[in-house]
Amino acid sequence: MKNHKTLLKRYGLFAALLAANLFLLAVDPQLGRNSFRLTTANLAEMLSILPPIFLLLGLIDIWIPRETMMKYMGEDAGLRGGFLAFTMGSAAAGPLYAAFPVAGMLLKKGVKLTNVFVFIGAWSTTKIPMLLFEASSLGWKFTGIRLLCSIIGIVSIAMLLEKTTCAEESEQLYKRARNF
């Protein structure tokens, strides 16, 4: 019985979305076909992005010792850890869903929770290629102001999340990451 609950918990959302797509196909075949086409395209995109990310994570896991990550981005890293997390997030490429396995690896390596939040925030809002495009389209002044506001927001939210995450939740995140 436990296996069925585990399977349902793991694949329940997938099954629900498949059922919704099948229902949509039955009710409105054209819309259902479009839905399946978009779902297939999104799945293909994910499958083209995630394998290189997991390869990179495997290399990070092997090549970078936990002690090194803790030294540069752990509890005692201070501003250096936040700056490194921000730089890593800004220099990263790919959609936001690719940031979460990387964040899991950072947690596994003992990176401070605030720095993981900074990394995710930077990945989502301050990518260097997008900043260059934004500057060419909207001007350097606008880009600079927006970047400064984003940095303030990212750091503020990361610190707020760190403060409001209780010790049990924090330990649960690190425990899940170790099993990652």
Asked if residue 2 has pLDDT above 80, the reply is no
Domain boundaries, the chain: 1-52, 64-178
> What burial class does residue 173 get, using C-beta atoms within 10 Å of its C-beta: 0-12 exposed, 13-18 middle, 19+ buried?
middle
Nearest to 146 by CA among 161, 135, 160: 135
* Structure confidence at residue 47 (pLDDT): 84
Asked if residue 4 has pLDDT above 80, the reply is no
Cα–Cα dist 165/116, whole Å: 13
The three-state secondary structure class of 111 is coil
* Structure confidence at residue 46 (pLDDT): 84
The pTM of this model reads 0.79
35-93 residue pLDDT tens: 889 988 988 888 888 888 888 888 888 888 888 888 999 888 889 999 999 999 999 87
Cα–Cα dist 156/21, whole Å: 40
Band the pLDDT of 1: cuts 50, 70, 90: low
18-30 residue pLDDT tens: 898 899 989 999 9
Band the pLDDT of 179: cuts 50, 70, 90: confident
Residue 139 identity: G
